[in-house]
Amino acid sequence: MMSFSKGRYVVGFAESAENIREAQRLRWLCFLGRRPGAEASGALDADDYDERCNHVLIRDDSTGALVACFRMLTLSGGAEIGDSYSARHYNLSRLRDFDGRMVEIGRFCIHPEWRDPDILRLAWGALARHVDDERIEMLFGCSSFVGTDTDGYEDAFAMLRERHLAPKRWLPRVKAPQVFRFARALRLRKPDPRRAMAAMPPLLRSYLAMGGWVSDHAVVDRQLDTLHVFTGLEIRAIPPERAKLLRAVGA
């Protein structure tokens, strides 16, 4: 059972139904509570995957307040990719040929009142520990941009197209009914690096810095009020020094 503390935070798995409800309440706040007129009383973001996943919780050690969470679904290999949450939104048939163990990262969120970059580092430390314990060879999931309007994200998507598209052998195909085909729409746009990185979600920036790649289109997810891209990271692509730092965080 994973459990460790660093500085003012403690990281561990959810151990009860109430722990999972805490995560579901935080997820609702981050994904749906920002909508105008949203009613917070008793609100949860929950789905059928919650019972199948391990839920990682990051708390403030002094108060016990939940400051971040995410869930992990471990697969024995690409043959099980159709069982993932991401497969509901993307055609992932090309990834069926991946023969190593995989983990889907989902519903990652940090409480909007917490801005400490150490929280994201701890989350990656927890992932590093799980990768080593379970001999994982690929991480994947959906990286979300806030809202469903592409305005303001053009440079970010243009940079994804220019530098970070998935290799063709793994590239997801379109499945969702509404998508933004940014690789096609922005093929002539030269991204402004500063504006691109400012608009990029922090989790996605971390994936990309470690050698991650994305789909060539974004799914318009009106249920969660997000635009998201499929994101993959082969563990062997992570620079050795960065991998060493992540393992030290989760030690």
Query: What's the CATH code of the domain at 131?
Result: 3.40.630.30
Question: Is residue 97 within 8 Å of residue 79, measured between CB atoms?
Answer: no
Give the pLDDT confidence score for residue 42 in this predicted structure: 66
Average the pLDDT over each of 29-33, 96-100, 155-159, 162-166 and give the range with the smallest value: 29-33
Whether residue 40 is predicted with pLDDT greater than 80 in this model: the reply is: no
Mean pLDDT of 26-41: 75
Looking at the 3D structure of the chain, how many domains does it have? 1
CA distance 121 to 133: 18
Give the pLDDT confidence score for residue 57 in this predicted structure: 97
Tens-place pLDDT, residues 84-132: 999 999 999 999 999 999 999 999 999 999 989 999 999 999 999 999 9
DSSP-derived 3-state class of residue 142: strand
Percentage of residues in the chain with pLDDT exceeding 90? 84
Give the pLDDT confidence score for residue 119 in this predicted structure: 94
Give the pLDDT confidence score for residue 241 in this predicted structure: 85
pTM to 2 decimal places: 0.93
Average the pLDDT over each of 28-37, 52-61, 62-71, 72-81 and give the range with the smallest value: 28-37
Mean pLDDT of 206-229: 95
Q: Which has more pLDDT, 178 or 223?
A: 178
Give the pLDDT confidence score for residue 236 in this predicted structure: 93
Question: Is residue 91 within 8 Å of residue 174, measured between CB atoms?
Answer: yes
Q: Say which residue the tokens 């935070």 belong to.
A: 9
DSSP string, 20-74: HHHHHHHHHHHHTTTSTT---TT-----TTGGGSEEEEEEETTT--EEEEEEEEE
CA distance 249 to 231: 23
**Interhelix angle 202-209/117-134, nearest 10 degrees:** 50
Tens-place pLDDT, residues 74-89: 999 999 999 999 999 9
Question: Is residue 183 within 8 Å of residue 191, measured between CB atoms?
Answer: no
Neighbours of 193 (CB within 10 A): 11
**Structural domain of 214:** 3-249
